[in-house]
């Protein structure tokens, strides 16, 4: 039996598990809820695959899981997360539902279905006796991905360095379900301007307007955008002043940066930190930097995609496409460590981080088979 048919046999059970997992709130900031989610995942992984699971304690966010299958010299890493962007109580408002071959509910697409696809894909390899003897498959699940993986970045990087390839369970690109072979890197900066307050009617000339200064800086930041190269600099929030009759003493801008290459990351970082005040008495303070390095499409990543394409032809009877995105994931970290990373191996659907999010049910066995087939052939 081929992988898709094998996973189709699990679908009734898989959908019950999907309903159960979607109906467990797991916002990144809530340790207790993510701990519960992890206990549930641990139990399920062992039940499905007879593999081993190590639960890694975390003081701040939910504990992490290292699920392992097989023992051998060829180590493959699969990366997923348990947390969602939805706060506690979202499930009560919007529980799991199915209509028209689509599954809905908080985090169903990003990425509760993706994690289950990985677990059932591994089960299929075991049940069909298709997990090569020399292969060790590791599935990492963290619970702080949606807030930038502050406590799991190093852990993921360390595990990735022990592996020959990394497969990330974030959703693919629609329409078509293309895999992600590159991702932009991202950075966050804060620009604070210190001016001097004065009475707007009595002595405005003795003040230094932080608002006027920051306005000029915003224009300089805007000029750093280069859509052709793929560099974007967005001032998304601006604050300042205390009243219309006061020359503003303070202003602040929050800046988001996206870049395709590390070289460009360094260039923009230097430009932003090198901003100087237009008004001689205004004082600029700049903090922040590139927080996620870009996942560049290296030759090794292109090779990994070629293998995925072959597997999709054999297992799904279609050629999976490749694309890139300005959105970031934990794949940015593993790729920046030099480990070939392929992303977008999660569930097909749409509307991540929106109440409209859904997963295409028919595609679940196909995508699980694609992932399992890649693991087998790597």
Residue 146: CB minimum distance to Zn ion, A:
7
Residue 231: CB minimum distance to Zn ion, A:
24
The nearer residue to Zn ion, 79 or 233, going by C-beta atoms, is 79
Residue 86: CB minimum distance to Zn ion, A:
12
Residue 87: CB minimum distance to Zn ion, A:
16
Residue 209: CB minimum distance to Zn ion, A:
42
Residue 84: CB minimum distance to Zn ion, A:
8
Dist. CA 41–CA 49, nearest whole Å: 12
Residue 170: CB minimum distance to Zn ion, A:
5
Please name the residues in contact with 291: beta carbons below 8 A apart, sequence gap of 6 or more: 148, 186, 187, 188
The nearer residue to Zn ion, 111 or 119, going by C-beta atoms, is 111
Residue whose C-beta lies closest to Zn ion: 110
The nearer residue to Zn ion, 110 or 343, going by C-beta atoms, is 110
The nearer residue to Zn ion, 10 or 104, going by C-beta atoms, is 104
Helices (H), 162-274: 210-222, 262-273
3 state DSSP class of 148: coil
The most distant pair of C-alpha atoms in the chain lies apart, rounded to whole Å, by 85
The nearer residue to Zn ion, 111 or 198, going by C-beta atoms, is 111
**CB contact at 8 A, 214 and 192:** no
| Residues 188, 332, 229, 237, Cα dihedral to 10° | -20
How many CA atoms are closer than 13 Å to the CA of 70, on its beta-carbon side? 23
Hey, what are 78's tokens?
């699969």
The nearer residue to Zn ion, 111 or 265, going by C-beta atoms, is 111
3-state helix, strand, coil in the chain (%, to 5): 35, 30, 35
Quick check: bond before 111 cis, omega within 30?
yes
Closest C-alpha among 66, 46, 69 to residue 56 = 66
User: Where along the sequence are the contacts to Zn ion (CB under 5 A)?
Assistant: 110-111, 170
The nearer residue to Zn ion, 170 or 357, going by C-beta atoms, is 170
Residue 85: CB minimum distance to Zn ion, A:
9
**CB contact at 8 A, 102 and 85:** no
Dist. CA 207–CA 285, nearest whole Å: 19
Dist. CA 302–CA 331, nearest whole Å: 15
Closest C-alpha among 320, 334, 250, 236 to residue 292 = 334
Residue 83: CB minimum distance to Zn ion, A:
8
The nearer residue to Zn ion, 128 or 351, going by C-beta atoms, is 351
Dist. CA 75–CA 351, nearest whole Å: 33
The nearer residue to Zn ion, 170 or 213, going by C-beta atoms, is 170
């Amino acid at each position: 039996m081929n992988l898709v048919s094998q996973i189709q046999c699990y679908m009734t059970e898989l959908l019950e598990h999907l309903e159960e997992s979607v109906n467990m709130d797991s916002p990144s900031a809530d340790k207790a809820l993510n701990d519960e989610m992890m206990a549930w995942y641990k139990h399920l992984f062992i039940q499905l695959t007879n593999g081993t699971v190590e639960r890694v304690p975390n003081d701040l966010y939910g504990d992490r899981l290292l699920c392992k299958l097989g023992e051998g010299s060829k180590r493959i890493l699969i990366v997923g997360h348990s947390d969602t962007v939805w706060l506690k109580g979202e499930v009560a408002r919007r529980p799991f539902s199915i209509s028209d071959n689509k599954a809905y509910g908080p985090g169903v697409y990003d990425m509760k279905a993706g994690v289950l696809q990985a677990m059932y894909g591994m089960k299929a390899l075991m049940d069909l006796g298709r997990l090569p003897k020399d292969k060790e498959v590791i599935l990492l699940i963290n619970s702080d991905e949606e807030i930038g993986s502050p406590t799991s970045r190093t852990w993921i990087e360390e595990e990735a360095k022990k592996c020959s390839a990394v497969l990330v369970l974030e959703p693919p690109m629609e329409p078509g379900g293309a895999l992600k072979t590159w991702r932009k890197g991202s950075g966050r900066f804060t620009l604070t301007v210190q001016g001097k307050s004065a009475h707007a009617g009595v002595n405005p000339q003795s003040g230094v307007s932080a608002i006027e200064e920051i306005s000029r800086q915003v224009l300089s930041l805007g000029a750093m955008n280069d859509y052709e190269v793929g560099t974007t600099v967005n001032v998304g929030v601006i604050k300042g002043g205390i009243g219309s009759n006061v020359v503003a003493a303070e202003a602040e801008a929050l800046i988001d940066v996206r870049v395709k290459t590390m070289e460009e990351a360094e260039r923009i970082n230097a430009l932003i930190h090198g901003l100087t005040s237009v008004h001689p008495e205004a004082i600029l303070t700049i903090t922040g930097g590139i927080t996620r390095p870009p996942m560049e499409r290296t030759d090794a990543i292109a090779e990994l995609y070629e293998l995925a394409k072959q597997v999709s032809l054999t297992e799904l009877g279609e050629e999976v496409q490749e694309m890139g995105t300005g959105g970031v994931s934990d794949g940015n970290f593993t790729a920046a460590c030099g480990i070939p990373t392929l992303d977008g191996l999660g569930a097909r659907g749409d509307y991540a981080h929106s109440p409209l999010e859904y997963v295409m049910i028919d595609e679940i066995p196909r995508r699980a088979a694609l992932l399992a087939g890649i693991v087998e052939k790597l």
